[in-house]
Structure 1
Amino acid sequence: MFSELLWALPKQNLQNFNIDSGSADVSLIEFAKQANFTIIFPYEKVQSRRSNSLKGSFTIEQGIAKLLEGTGLVASFETDGVVTIKRISIRDTVIEDKSLFQELVDLFAGKGDDLVIFPEEPLLMELIEVRGIRSSMDWALDIKQESIGVSESIQSEEIGKFPDLNLAESLQRITGVSIDRSEGEGQFVTVRGLGPQFNTVLSNGRRLATDNQGREFSFDTIASELVTSVSVDKTFSASQPSGGIGAIINIKTARPMATREFKVAGSVQATFDTNSQKTAPQGTVFFSNSNDKLGWLVSLSHQIRDARVNEVQTDGWLLNTDVPVEQITSTADNIFVPRNYDQRVRFDQRTRSGGTLVLQYKVTPDLEISLDYLQSNFNVKTNSTSLGHWFTSSNLEDVVTDDNGTAIEFSQNVGHATDFHARTFDRPSSLSALGLNSSLHVSPKVLMEFDVSTSKASTKDRIGAGNALTLIGYLNRSSFSISEDNILPLISNFESADPTIIDASGEAAGVSNYLDPVNGKAHVMLRRGWNIEDKFDQLKTDVTLFEGLNSNVDIKLGLMYSKQSKRNERWDNEKNAVHCSFCGYFPEPDLPDSFQTIFDVGNDFLGSVSGSENLPKLWLRHDGETLFSFLESVSDVNFDAVIRNNSFTVDEKVTSAYIQGHQRAEWQDIEFSTIYGVRYENTDIVVTGFESDLLALTILDQTELGQLNSPGRIISRSATYNNWLPSLSIKAQWQDNIVARFGLSRSLTRPTMSQLSPSLVLTTTRQGGDLRASSGNPELKPFESTNFDLTLEWYYQPLSYISASYFKKKVSNFIVSTVTKMTINDVTDPSTGTDSRAPDSEDTLAEFDLTTPTNGQTATVSGFEFAIQHDFESGWGVVANMTLVDSNAKLNPTDISQKFALTGLSNSQNLILYYEKGPSQIRLAWNHRDGFLQSLVQIQGPEPTYVRSYQQLDLSASYALNDNFSMFIEGVNITEENVLKHGRFSNQLLLAQQPGARYSVGLRGSF
């Protein structure tokens, strides 16, 4: 089904036509006007074809045949009175035997060989547009069936109405696609077990910059209302940009010439967050108009979400630290102890504003110029409060472990602190994309395209608000325990008053009840964040030779140059230990009691997670900025963040060229389409960073060591590599409804940018031997993958199909983290000698765990995808799919020496039930993702992070009041599922997060 041009066909006599040669879309619309009927068709499918002139008197069938002659399109007249526009098949074409030289001469002269078979009866054509759930599914299904490679898409139900409130949430409905969530919203996408860094994200075919430190793209930065479709290409061709061994994801925005009329559309809605109990507004508006020459479109969107997220968190589980041997009861070979244990409530205001501007201009019938601009700002303002307990390995007592070595019981009476935090996790990000494209029909069979674009993304944080922390706490004691029956650990014995507590020096440090502000002392005061600026410039030109060497072969070739400049600046106040100017819980300065008030988290705090009944429901809350200002006012300390030595810039230039053939053939009533080609790419990288030498370590308090460093210096490294990327995709179609696909290709993903920094960074300097450093590697090679795909699809009735796919990827040059021991300039650890509170002659050399990335591992990823979609005549329909993924690079939790495993691998399932009849629409969507390894590191420490299995149920419904207005309601996570993460073993809790549900009600209009 190449086209959606469908007509009802009565008789018609000769008609007069006066149509100039030009783009097929313009000519078909003009043809419809002069024949006095309506045509609605997918603009992008015929835009690239150049039609013939049509002047004189013709019947309808003669006229459309002459108009399309030589375009590679033909009107096919079926016996049931339906006409479809499709590619000319082999049997409809007569090929004259010519020399290669004559073929090339005729090609650029625009001479064609096509013989179009006309129907016998004169016919009139009319199409009625279908809108809504079925319409969007029909378009998506048509794209899937017509694609030569394995490609799937999500289409908007109408302008400004995407199936889900979030792009990532929509993408997870596609087989092979799963997502990572952030505070209840989809953010990152994994395709076929390969995580966000392995997927290339485009907007209208152009690369998008990202607001992250690496290459991964955050889908929560773009409002879904601005998008008309998102496609996921799982197989690769030479004409596509490289970078994604998982998939190429293309976000498309609305085009004015796709509507060919003045149009206004928009929506207003209110969104209620069940956790925060607050309602926030949201609105979107589109204006569009076009004629045969000029089209313009403007869209604007503004969203606010007031959210509350409840969390329990451990920053990491430390492996084999200096827990006193005499305090351990264990039969295991290793011991894992938690770094901390926090309960937190996070208040977010998430504001997303954006818009698009598109101009299309038909300069001549052969030349079209388009300009499109996308702008999106996503500003997350946070204000969180938490109760925390910090554990020091060397002071733990009565430690009991399970068989895996996980500490399931311990207490700490010396060097322990109970802390109340005020934190921010602000994310002031922005994204823009500007592109200019020209399309020129040099002749009826030669199309030249020129495209230049730039995209910018940033997270502006030079004040350290991305991970700021102020702390009021006091020396205390506590007991920690994990039971088999509960997910959440129990923290106890810290609440009551205790006059017997002593500090590390043996001095009395008695405390009152934990809710008494008089206990509070100043401690760590952190401003931390990344200021990220990413710019991606691209210039490319493509030439398509339709029916290049004969009528069944198209040839496409092109050149592309791109330059990406990403600057990652680290801003914090940790230089010279400024952040620890008041570390130690000292009596001075005396903090006003009024700074702290009692905060009640409520009885439903993580209520559906086992063990939540044991969590404290009250703690003390303070305002972080008030505390910063007070401490600066009573001292000469300036807590402002400054740029740090672990900042770096990556400049990456890629020059590429490709040639690609598209060949059609037929055998035994089976139509074959084959795309084959090769892409060559040259990559030049220059990485610039800062580095300073460690001169000494100093004691700051009972846990922290400070760093004294030399002045920073600039260092720079460069690297170059070349790659050949061949590809082959074959599609076989039988009886128009059975399709088989085969794909074989080579693809690459360039190294994660955060792993290219040449600087040595001391990440952790704490007492008890917790000394860690890291360094990047500018000479890392790209990931390279050999991809194999095999798919079978059966389209057994309209809007219904069954498909099964097998895929296998063999990926080389995987990056692994190597940990080695190192000393720096003979610097000693002042906490290791006779006096643990000051340097002495018995201090030993400070030995750091240095983590560096290197290439070397090869992994295989394989799996199956199954999907079924069935539409019932009653108005109901169902979509179900399942993805099964496996790899030879899974992590063995019992092997602590294993340094490499593939992250993101998980099975997933989707089930969608929909109803659409008359003015009513209902859609219920369920998604489930099995547990998976998310990362090989934790917030603190080189231990793995796992995400438990997660499911989510979403609901949407609408009712059309008339032809112009409809009311709708939407619910996200209506069963209020929680996100759970753990360490190497399932009882090593890392995160329990309760994002709650969201409900929206609104009005949508279209004119």
Structure 2
Amino acid sequence: MLLFKPSLLTLALAAAGASISAYAADDVTNTATADENIEVVKVTGIRRSLQESQSLKMSSSSIVEAISAEDIGKLPDVSIAESLARLPGVAAQRLDGRANVISIRGLGPDFTTATLNGREQTSVNDNRGVEFDQYPSELLNRVVVYKTPDASVMAQAIGGTVDMQTISPLTHGEQTFAVSLRGEMNDLGALNSGSDDKGYRGSVSYIDQFADDTIGIALGYSRMVSPNQEERWQAWGYPELDYNSDNPFVLGGAKPFVRSSELERDGFLGVIEFAPNDFFKSTVDIFYTKFFDDQRLRGIEIPGQWGAGWGNSGITALETQDGLVTKGIINDAAVVVRNDVNTRDAESLSVGWNNKFQVNNNWAVEADIAMSKSDRTDLGMESYSGTGRGNGNGAVDQLGFEYDGDGSYHFSHNLDYSDPNVIKLGGPFSWGNPVGPDSQDGFINKPEIEDDLKSVKLAAEYIFDEGAVRSVEFGVNYTEREKTKQDNGFYLTLKDYPDMQTVPDAYLLAPTSLDFFGMGNMLSYDSLAFYNDGNYTETNADTVDLSRATNSWQVAEDVTTAFVKANVDSELFDLPLSGNIGLQAVMTDQSSNGTVASVDSGTVVKTPRTASDSYTEWLPSLNLGLEVADGQMLRFAAARTLTRARMDKMNANANFSYNANPSDGVNWSGGAGNPELRPWLARQYDLSYENYFSDQGYFAVAVFYKDLENYVYDQRSEFNFGEIFPEVGGNPIGLVTQPQNGEGGYVQGVEASFSLDFGLFADVLSGFGTVMSASYNDSEVKETSDSDPTTLPGLSEKTFNATVYYENSGFEARVSSRYRSEFLGEVTAISLSRVNVNVAAETVVDAQVGYDFSESGIDALYGLSVLFQVNNLTNEPFTSYTGDDARHVRDYQNYGRNFMLGANYKF
């Protein structure tokens, strides 16, 4: 169906290769042929990608952004998240040097839904937000970001919906075999013993059609072994010197380290299409990824001002600048030498079966069934060593420190921290007593996540023979989702406790250099092998730690969505008008199984708890596009949208303490999850103007306003403990801190994007071009009308993206830059928990050059292309800080540059 009348520009775009996936929503049109009198020039590479993305944006009834593959198995960037981060209004947060999760229009990953071929995806983390580096870019054909919803999009979200689309082999229409291979290297080198700074990534794709083009298949496989190195400065915090508010702030403590990791990812794609005639089409698609990340982290943890209770005799301030001690000495300092290991083993599987049947000229029906499944097992191990067991024992050092101005500190020292006769296995601080005094010699986390989602959709469309309403679509979608987290954690104690132990020669490794912050070499050993060989005694943390006992949970949702949508194709003031108006009724049943825990005589006592709730929300939507001139669209959209609450906050867990004789009359108090938590809701309004002035050039500007009806806050709430412990008398109503739906606010912003082929101005500039975008976001969200505004996670006030490219006669060069102003991000904290921190502004620059031998005239090399890429060209660090002073750095991460050299071959 056409959403506005096809101009010559529209037809040219389609002829240039802008074919739309059969999986895309019905509002993204596939114009299959052009008028024969239009001259068609086939384009490839960057320009092909830009033209197809522009066609997707132009032909949609919603306000969308799109990314299209330059060729089979070749999206513009090395990851989906990095490509998404170049789109207007979209920003990415980096994890271990790579783009990982995204924010859309100032709303963080919690407010974004990810789909594959239109079907909602599970996630490998504690929540719903999809980590996009899980999806190999080589196996995806395009990605469409829906900024405004319509009633036929089942997985809506307040921020937006990201639909990743695989290729349609029948639409592709020709036999294709493509293979690619790239070598990869990190310029920081191998920072840890046993690590590697070199890796590779490769892929192979096969597409074909059989039985007179009634059967099509697409098969793809990708593998990546990617090294990553990091020098990280991490601070505990910044208390006042001598704990006096009149004194300057000073370093509370530090945990700097180097990290070496190797990420292995395998991906498989399979698509089978069957279209025996013009009336029926059946498609089965399978997408599988397996993801293993092995990280070795080695460093020295240094108590500063907060370490006075652990043996040091305080800090001597030597220099102070603007209320911060920038140079000083930590007197009689004891440290802990850390040899840590983090691994993540995750896999995701998505399977879908879609059937479309054109009954007659008026009726069409569709049936779709799908499943998505994700599993993850982590291991996070901490291994401690030092000069003596417990506080105040062992050799100490005089540690000088000086702030270097870029977010980290440089130290001086006297002890040799690489000497195994000085640094021995065992806990140098009194951090825990699992089996006796000062018996915590390490800790190991082993959380497990399982996420399962099943869906069934039945829909129909009636097409009118005439009238302003072109067709009406209606149907129902049913999903079942269950997510489980099992949080396992164990204190580690040496079997030789209470003695410290010299590291056996079998586990010793070459020392690790910590010269980047001045501490020289440190003792390094294979801590995981030492653990696996049975040298530690384990104590289950949930038997002694109340918060750990309520970290495991199970959350389930059954959601039925009924929808109806009228597609409009008419005129207004003699101008073509298209779009849709629709309504969804979303009926939800949610439940959780959890644990209520308390401490009795030093032992955690656990009681099972189950809780549930149900609700219905009505979500109207409107999308209208007015073609005010040839190639110029004015769009307006309005909708009520929802984003479901975080699953890790919907659990039925509670921990509490009981006071038989309270002064305030409240016997029970504690903390809890909330299985009755309702979704975030918003009314949103969008207005955009889009001017498509060439087949590879457009200008667009959009404004939006999201009226948040509510927001989720941690609040003190009444909790009926009598329902759990009916045998206990007295007042059963207690007070717990738990997430609750509170007051809302607004998010608003403006976006502008621009794409230009310089060849429009002069032939000599042919092949040169640029793509630019910028956005500005603002928000005000309050818990109550009298409270201070809440900072929204993921909201950057300003983002800017720019790409300059050249592509001609087979040569290709591109430099891309993305800027994101400071924002509130979510990072990993102690025991793999998640916390929000302030993330500093950053500018990430990538570059690539290449040559396609298909343009060389050498027949033997036809189909071969070579490529050289540099990611993080300017070596931009990732920096987070606490409070309002950017010098109070929490985390300063230096990743180095990644270089890739490779080749692609297609025939």
Do both share a fold (TM > 0.5)? yes
2: CA distance, partners of 1:636 / 1:364: 67
Partner residue of 2:612 out of 708, 712, 718: 718
Mapped to 2, the partners of 1:8 and 1:490 lie a distance apart of 62
Q: 1:240 to 1:479 in 2, by over 3 A?
A: same
**In 2, distance between residues paired with 1:353 and 1:538?**
26
Which one of 655, 676, 683 corresponds to residue 560 of structure 2? 655
Q: How do 1:328-727 residues align onto structure 2 when only pairs under 5 Å count?
A: 328-331=243-246, 340-390=253-303, 392=306, 395=309, 397=314, 417-461=334-378, 465=379, 467-474=380-387, 475=393, 476=396, 483=403, 485=405, 487-491=407-411, 495-496=413-414, 515=419, 517-523=421-427, 524-547=441-464, 550=467, 552-573=469-490, 578-579=491-492, 587-589=499-501, 591-592=503-504, 599-601=511-513, 605=516, 612=517, 615-628=518-531, 632-633=534-535, 645-697=550-602, 708-710=603-605, 712-727=606-621
CA apart distance, 1:581 = 6.6
Structure 1 window deviating more from structure 2 (712-721 vs 220-229): it is 712-721
Query: Partners in 1 of 2:384 and 2:848 — Cα distance?
Result: 43
CA spacing shift, 1:529–1:338, aligned 2, 3 Å: farther
Is structure 2 residue 628 aligned with structure 1 residue 730? no
Residues 489 and 541 in structure 2, CA contact (< 8 A), matched pair in contact too: yes
1:817 is displaced (CA, Å) by 2.5
Unaligned runs of 5+ in 1: 10-27, 29-37, 50-71, 76-82, 86-122, 498-511, 606-611, 698-707, 764-771, 825-847, 892-896
Among residues 967, 971, 991, which one is paired with 2:891 in the alignment?
991
Question: 1:902-921 maps to which residues of 2 (within 5 A)?
Answer: 902-906=792-796, 907-921=798-812
Which of residues 19, 32, 49 is equivalent to 1:42?
19
Aligned residue number for residue 859 of structure 2 = none
Shift of 1:411: 6.8
The worse-fitting range, judged by mean Cα deviation, of 867-876 and 590-599 is: 590-599
Tell me whether 1:282 sits opposite 2:201 in the alignment.
yes
Cα gap change, 1:942/1:987 in structure 2, threshold over 3 Å: closer, same or farther?
A: farther
Could you give the per-residue CA deviations for residues 449-506 of structure 1, whole angstroms, max 9, x where no partner exists?
1100001111124xxx1x21111123536667664845213555xx336xxxxxxxxx
C-alpha distance in 1, partners of 2:475/2:502?
70
Tell me which amino acid in the other structure corresponds to 2:839.
Answer: V
Q: Deviations over 1:663-684 (max 9, x none)?
A: 1222344211131111010111
What letter is aligned with 1:693? S
Question: How far did residue 516 of structure 1 move?
Answer: 5.6
Separation in structure 2 between the aligned mates of residue 425 and residue 849 of structure 1, nearest angstrom: 37
For 1:734 and 1:280, how far apart are their aligned partners in 2?
52
Q: Secondary structure at 1:426's aligned position in 2?
A: strand
Paired residue for 1:301, among 199, 222, 237? 222
Across the aligned residues of Structure 1 and Structure 2, the Cα RMSD in angstroms comes to 3.9
Structure 1 position 587, deviation (Å): 3.9
1:857 and 1:74, CA in 2 relative to 1: closer, same or farther beyond 3 A?
closer
Partner of 1:885: 777
| 8 Å contact from structure 1 (residues 378, 428) kept in 2 | yes
Distance (whole Å) between structure 1 residues aligned to residue 237 and residue 24 of structure 2 = 57
User: What TM-score, normalized to structure 1?
Assistant: 0.75
- List per-residue Cα deviations over 1:631-685 (Å, max 9, x = no partner): x55x765789999552111111101101111112223442111311110101111
Deviation at 1:420, TM superposition (A): 1.1
Pick aligned residue for 1:225 from 138, 141, 144: 138
Q: Is the contact made by 1:528 and 1:641 (CA closer than 8 Å) also made in structure 2? A: no
The 1:398/1:260 distance shift into structure 2, 3 A limit, reads closer
Task: Report the CA distance between 1:517 and its aligned residue.
Answer: 3.2
What's the counterpart of residue 753 of structure 2? 867
2:25 & 2:687 partners in 1: Cα distance? 29
In structure 2, the CA distance between the partners of 1:403 and 1:601, relative to structure 1 (3 Å rule), is: closer
Partner secondary structure for residue 175 of structure 1: coil
Distance (whole Å) between structure 1 residues aligned to residue 782 and residue 846 of structure 2 = 31
Query: Which of 847, 850, 858 is the aligned partner of 1:955?
Result: 847
Q: How has the CA–CA distance of structure 1 residues 942 and 264 changed in structure 2, closer, same or farther, with 3 Å as cutoff?
A: closer
Alignment CA distance shift 1:551-1:856 (3 Å): closer
Note if 1:901 corresponds to 2:791: yes
CA distance in 1, matches of 2:486, 2:718: 27
What SS does the aligned partner of 2:487 have? strand
3-state SS, counterpart of residue 177 of structure 2:
strand
- Pairwise CA distance, 1:224: 0.4
**Which residue, 823, 840, 854 being the options, matches 1:932?**
823
C-alpha contact (below 8 Å) 1:530/1:568 kept by paired residues: yes
Contact 2:300-2:336 at 8 Å conserved across structures: yes
Residue type at the aligned position of 1:273: N
Deviation at 1:369, TM superposition (A): 0.8
Matching residue's letter, 1:496:
N
CA drift at 1:8: 12
2:640 — aligned with what? 746
- 1:990 deviation in Å? 1.1
Post-superposition CA distance 1:806-857 (Å, at most 9, x none): 11111132112247999x9xxxxxxxxxxxxxxxxxxxxxxx9975322203
**Aligned 8 A contact 2:514 2:522 in 1:** no
**Distance in 1 of aligned mates of 2:251 and 2:718:** 22
Larger Rg belongs to: 1
Letter in 1 for 2:422: V
Shift in alpha-carbon separation, 1:970–1:3, aligned structure 2, 3 A = farther
- Between the aligned partners of 1:403 and 1:687, the Cα distance in structure 2 is 52
Identity between Structure 1 and Structure 2 (%): 23
**Residue by residue, what CA displacement relative to the aligned partner does 1:373-431 show, whole Å, maximum 9, x if unpaired?**
000111101122111124546637358798998777887668x6411111122111111
- What is the distance in 2 between the residues matched to 1:7 and 1:866? 22
SS at match of 1:425: strand
Report the Cα offset of residue 801 of structure 1.
1.4
Native 8 Å contact 2:826 2:834 kept in 1: no
Q: Give, in angstroms, the shift of residue 178 of structure 1.
A: 0.1
TM-score (norm 2): 0.83
Picking from 802, 805, 809, the partner of 2:699 is 802
Aligned to 1:971: 870
**1:781 pairs with 2:678:** yes
CA contact (8 A) 1:816 1:855 kept: yes
| AA aligned opposite 1:489 | Y
Q: How many Å separate the matches in 2 of 1:39 and 1:166? A: 25
SS in 1 for 2:447: strand
Q: Is the 8 A contact 1:936 1:942 kept in 2?
A: yes
Superposed CA deviations along residues 872-893 of structure 1, whole A, max 9, x for unmatched, are 22110011110111112499xx
Displacement of 1:859: 2.2
Equivalent pair of 2:238/2:888 in contact (CA under 8 Å)? no
Q: Distance in 2 between matches of 1:46 and 1:452?
A: 13
Name the CA shift for 1:582/1:759 in 2 (closer, same or farther; >3 Å).
farther
User: Which amino acid letter does the alignment assign opposite residue 561 of structure 1?
Assistant: Y
**Contact 2:350/2:373 (CA < 8 Å) preserved in 1?**
yes
Measured in 2, the distance between the counterparts of 1:820 and 1:341 equals 37
1:563 counterpart letter in structure 2: E
Query: Cα distance 1:640–1:558, how it changes in 2: closer, same or farther (>3 A)?
Result: same
Q: Alpha carbons of 1:317 and 1:942: their partners in 2 closer, same or farther (altered >3 Å)? A: farther
